[in-house]
């Protein structure tokens, strides 16, 4: 249909001529554009509401952490992972501990082994300055 004829038809029916696709020839439709915009906004809002936002929770350990303290932290970590959040495990080295990065890495691997049934290691333990980080993600 000719564009002018389609526009005339839309004016007679008191509707808008809306271009839906940019194909050759273009596809157009007669509709109430304000109602269409309202429905689109409502659909987008519903999609945003249903979208799950993944947070990154942080758990801090120390290079000299005791076994029971690590179990308590592992329990908190498993709770975060069950909620679908990622967990950033960090160790801050104090004083001369900085020279013993191997101890921190050992603590990290022990911690990962405690939660390995529900977590995957997204980022391996890596030392950056006085801190060592590891990122854990929930298993699917």
Whether the full predicted model's pTM is greater than 0.75, yes or no, is no
CA atoms within 13 A on the CB side of 90: 12
Segment 72-108, tens digit of pLDDT: 999 999 999 998 899 999 999 998 888 888 898 999 9
3-state SS class at 84 = coil
pLDDT at residue number 100: 83
Handedness of CA 6, 9, 13, 14 (dihedral sign): positive
3-state SS class at 8 = helix
Domains assigned to the chain: 3-50 (no CATH), 56-138 (3.30.110.10)
């Amino acid at each position: 249909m000719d564009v002018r004829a389609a526009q005339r038809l839309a004016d007679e029916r008191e509707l808008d001529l809306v271009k839906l696709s940019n194909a050759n020839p273009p596809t157009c439709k007669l509709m109430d554009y304000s109602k269409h915009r309202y429905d689109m906004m409502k659909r987008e809002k519903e999609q945003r509401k249903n979208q799950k936002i993944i947070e990154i929770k942080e758990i801090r350990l120390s290079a000299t952490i005791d076994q029971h303290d690590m179990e308590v932290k592992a329990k908190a970590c498993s709770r975060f992972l069950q909620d679908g959040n990622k967990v950033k495990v960090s160790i801050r080295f104090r004083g001369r501990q900085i020279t013993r990065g191997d101890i921190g890495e050992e603590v990290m691997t022990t911690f990962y082994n405690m939660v390995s049934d529900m977590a995957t290691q997204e980022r391996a333990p890596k030392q950056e300055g006085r801190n060592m980080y590891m990122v854990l993600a929930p298993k699917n």
